[in-house]
Amino acid sequence: MNLSPGDKARKVSGADSMQAADPGLDKVSDLASGTPAVMRIADVGIDPFVQLFRPAGLALSSVAAGQAIPGSHWGDDEAGLIGCTLYIRDDTPVHSALHEAGHWLLMDADRRANLHTDAGGTAAEEDAVCYLQILLADRIPGMGRSRMLADMDRWGYSFRLGSARRWFVGDAEDAQATLMLHADAIDSAFGTLDYSPVVPID
**Average of pLDDT values for 88-111?**
94
pLDDT beyond 50 at 74: yes
Q: What is the pLDDT of residue 10?
A: 43
Q: What is the pLDDT of residue 201?
A: 72
Asked whether the beta carbons of 82 and 115 are under 8 A apart, the reply is yes
Reported as a single tens digit per residue, the pLDDT across 156-181 is 898 988 999 999 999 999 999 999 99
pLDDT band for position 99 (cuts 50, 70, 90): very high
Express as a percent the part of the chain with pLDDT over 90: 63
Asked whether the beta carbons of 76 and 92 are under 8 A apart, the reply is no
Question: Around Cβ 4, how many Cβ atoms within 10 Å?
Answer: 7
Mean of pLDDT over the chain: 83
Q: What is the pLDDT of residue 202?
A: 61
Alpha carbon separation from 109 to 1, 21, 79, 84, 154 (Å, rounded): 19, 37, 21, 10, 33
Reported as a single tens digit per residue, the pLDDT across 2-45 is 333 234 344 432 223 332 333 233 334 444 444 448 999 999 99
Q: List the chain domain ranges.
A: 9-188
The separation between CA 70 and the C-alpha centre of its own chain, rounded to angstroms, equals 17
Q: CA torsion sign, 191 to 110 to 4 to 6?
A: negative
Alpha carbon separation from 116 to 73, 112, 120, 166 (Å, rounded): 9, 9, 10, 33
The one-letter code for the residue type at 154 is R
